[in-house]
Structure 1
Amino acid sequence: MDDDLQEETLVADYQEQVNYEADGADLDRIDTLGVGAPDLKAQLDAAAQPLEYQASIESKIASYDNYCSLFHYILNSEGPVDVEQPGLGFCWDLIDEFIYQFESFCRYRNRVARTSPTEEEAQVLRENPNVWGCYSVLNVLYSLIQRSQINEQLAAQKRGEDGNAVAGEYGSRPLYRMLGYFSIIGLLRVHCLLGDFSLALKTLDDIEMNKKAMFARVMAAHLNTYYYVGFSYMMLRRYADAVRMFSHILVYVSRTKNFQKGNQQFDAIAKKTEQMYALIAICVSFAPTRLDDTIHTALREKYGEKFARLQRGGPESLPVYKELFQSACPKFINPTPPDFDNPSLNIDPVDHHTDIFMDEVKNTLYNPTVKSYLKLYTTMDLKKLSSFLDVDPEKLRSWLLVNKQRSRQIRWSEGGLLEGETANSSELDYAIEGDLIHISEAKQGRRLVDWYLRNLARAY
Structure 2
Amino acid sequence: MSRRADYEPHTGDPEQDLAYDREQRARARTSSDGSDEVPGEVAGYLAFFANAIENEDNVDEVRHLYESAFPDLTERFFRERMWPDEHQVEAIVGPGRRIFIILYKELYYRQLYARNQRGPSLTHRYESFMNYQDLFSEVLNAKEPLKLALPNIWLWDIVDEFVYQFQAFCLFKANPSKRILDDIDELMNIEENQNAWNIYPVLNILYSLLGKSQINEQLAATKAKQNPDDVADEFGQSKLYFKLGYFSLIGLLRTHVLLADYHQALKTVEGLEMGPKGLYNSVPSCLVTLHYFVGFSHLMMRNYGEATKIFVNCLLYIQRMKSVQLQNQQAKKNFQYDVIGKTNDQLYQLLAICLTLQPQRIDEAVASQLWERVGDRMSRMANGDIDEFRSCFQMGCPKFLSPTTVVYEGGNLSKEPLIRQCQAFLEGIESQIALPILRGYLKLYTTLPTHKLASFMDVKEADYDSFLGKLLTFKMIVNELGKDVSTVGVGADASDVEETTTDIDFYVDKDMIVIADTKVSRRVGEHFIKHIHKLYEVQSILSKLDVSPKPAA
Do the two structures share a fold, i.e. TM-score over 0.5?
A: yes
Change in Cα spacing, 1:313 to 1:227, as seen in structure 2 (3 Å) is same
Change in Cα spacing, 1:286 to 1:31, as seen in structure 2 (3 Å) is farther
**Aligned partner of 1:128 among 187, 190, 206:** 190
Counterparts of residues 168-247 of structure 1 (less than 5 Å): 168-247=233-312
Taking the aligned partners of 2:178 and 2:343, their CA distance within structure 1 comes to: 31
Higher relative contact order (CA 8 A, sep 6+): 1
2:139 pairs with 1:69? no
Taking the aligned partners of 1:436 and 1:252, their CA distance within structure 2 comes to: 45
* Correspondence for 1:451: none
Write the letter of the residue equivalent to 1:101: Q
* Correspondence for 2:383: 313
Q: Secondary structure at the match of 1:429?
A: strand
1:399 to partner: Cα distance: 1.7
Q: Secondary structure at the match of 2:480?
A: strand
How many positions carry a matched residue from both structures?
Answer: 419
Taking the aligned partners of 2:282 and 2:246, their CA distance within structure 1 comes to: 13
* Correspondence for 2:59: none
- For residues 189-229 of structure 1, what are the alpha-carbon distances to aligned partners after superposition, in whole Å with 9 as ceiling and x for unaligned? 11111111111111112210011110111011111111111
Change in Cα spacing, 1:153 to 1:272, as seen in structure 2 (3 Å) is same
Taking the aligned partners of 1:68 and 1:107, their CA distance within structure 2 comes to: 21
1:76 to partner: Cα distance: 1.4
Who wins on radius of gyration, i.e. which is larger?
2
* Correspondence for 2:440: 372
Change in Cα spacing, 1:401 to 1:95, as seen in structure 2 (3 Å) is same
* Correspondence for 2:453: 385
Q: Secondary structure at the match of 1:91?
A: helix
Provide the identity percentage: 34
- For residues 304-359 of structure 1, what are the alpha-carbon distances to aligned partners after superposition, in whole Å with 9 as ceiling and x for unaligned? 3113223x332xx2222111211111111113243658969886111111111111
* Correspondence for 1:450: none
8 Å Cα contact 1:110-1:348 kept in structure 2: no
2:426 pairs with 1:354? no
Counterparts of residues 73-92 of structure 1 (less than 5 Å): 73-83=138-148, 85-92=149-156
8 Å Cα contact 1:409-1:424 kept in structure 2: no
Taking the aligned partners of 2:510 and 2:353, their CA distance within structure 1 comes to: 34
Counterparts of residues 30-179 of structure 1 (less than 5 Å): 31=85, 38-48=97-107, 50=110, 51-52=112-113, 53=116, 54-83=119-148, 85-112=149-176, 119-129=181-191, 130=194, 131-179=196-244
8 Å Cα contact 2:309-2:488 kept in structure 1: no
* Correspondence for 1:12: none
Write the letter of the residue equivalent to 1:81: L
Taking the aligned partners of 2:162 and 2:220, their CA distance within structure 1 comes to: 26
1:22 to partner: Cα distance: 2.9
1:141 to partner: Cα distance: 0.5
**Aligned partner of 1:413 among 479, 485, 489:** 485
Which 10-residue stretch deviates more, 44-53 or 391-400? 44-53
Q: Secondary structure at the match of 2:515?
A: strand
Q: Secondary structure at the match of 2:513?
A: strand
Taking the aligned partners of 2:271 and 2:242, their CA distance within structure 1 comes to: 14
Taking the aligned partners of 1:279 and 1:416, their CA distance within structure 2 comes to: 17
Write the letter of the residue equivalent to 2:127: A
**Aligned partner of 1:432 among 494, 501, 508:** 508
1:390 to partner: Cα distance: 1.9
Could you say what the CA RMSD is over the residues aligned between the two structures, in angstroms? 3.2
Which 10-residue stretch deviates more, 383-392 or 195-204? 383-392
Taking the aligned partners of 1:116 and 1:184, their CA distance within structure 2 comes to: 31
- For residues 216-253 of structure 1, what are the alpha-carbon distances to aligned partners after superposition, in whole Å with 9 as ceiling and x for unaligned? 11011111111111111111111111111111121111
1:416 to partner: Cα distance: 10
1:166 to partner: Cα distance: 2.8
Taking the aligned partners of 1:18 and 1:288, their CA distance within structure 2 comes to: 45
Taking the aligned partners of 1:105 and 1:346, their CA distance within structure 2 comes to: 10
Change in Cα spacing, 1:342 to 1:258, as seen in structure 2 (3 Å) is closer
* Correspondence for 2:29: none
1:402 to partner: Cα distance: 2.6
* Correspondence for 2:400: 332
Q: Secondary structure at the match of 1:413?
A: coil
Q: Secondary structure at the match of 2:467?
A: helix
2:356 pairs with 1:292? no
Q: Unaligned 5+ residue runs, structure 2?
A: 1-62, 75-82, 329-333, 521-553
Q: Secondary structure at the match of 1:261?
A: helix
Taking the aligned partners of 1:179 and 1:394, their CA distance within structure 2 comes to: 54
8 Å Cα contact 2:402-2:417 kept in structure 1: yes
Change in Cα spacing, 1:309 to 1:132, as seen in structure 2 (3 Å) is same
Write the letter of the residue equivalent to 2:471: L
* Correspondence for 2:517: 441
Write the letter of the residue equivalent to 1:153: Q
8 Å Cα contact 2:353-2:389 kept in structure 1: yes
1:48 to partner: Cα distance: 4.5
Which 10-residue stretch deviates more, 403-412 or 297-306? 403-412
Change in Cα spacing, 1:248 to 1:48, as seen in structure 2 (3 Å) is farther
8 Å Cα contact 1:205-1:416 kept in structure 2: no
Q: Secondary structure at the match of 2:174?
A: helix
Q: Secondary structure at the match of 1:304?
A: helix
1:173 to partner: Cα distance: 2.2
Taking the aligned partners of 1:170 and 1:124, their CA distance within structure 2 comes to: 38
8 Å Cα contact 1:47-1:97 kept in structure 2: no
Q: Secondary structure at the match of 1:438?
A: strand
Taking the aligned partners of 1:256 and 1:148, their CA distance within structure 2 comes to: 31
8 Å Cα contact 1:202-1:416 kept in structure 2: no
Taking the aligned partners of 1:89 and 1:342, their CA distance within structure 2 comes to: 41
- For residues 174-199 of structure 1, what are the alpha-carbon distances to aligned partners after superposition, in whole Å with 9 as ceiling and x for unaligned? 22121111101101111111111111
Change in Cα spacing, 1:125 to 1:150, as seen in structure 2 (3 Å) is same
Taking the aligned partners of 2:142 and 2:416, their CA distance within structure 1 comes to: 40
Which 10-residue stretch deviates more, 229-238 or 330-339? 330-339
8 Å Cα contact 2:505-2:516 kept in structure 1: yes
Change in Cα spacing, 1:31 to 1:332, as seen in structure 2 (3 Å) is farther
1:440 to partner: Cα distance: 2.6
8 Å Cα contact 1:48-1:95 kept in structure 2: no
Write the letter of the residue equivalent to 2:100: K
Q: Secondary structure at the match of 2:97?
A: helix
1:257 to partner: Cα distance: 1.2
8 Å Cα contact 1:243-1:283 kept in structure 2: yes
Taking the aligned partners of 1:327 and 1:203, their CA distance within structure 2 comes to: 26
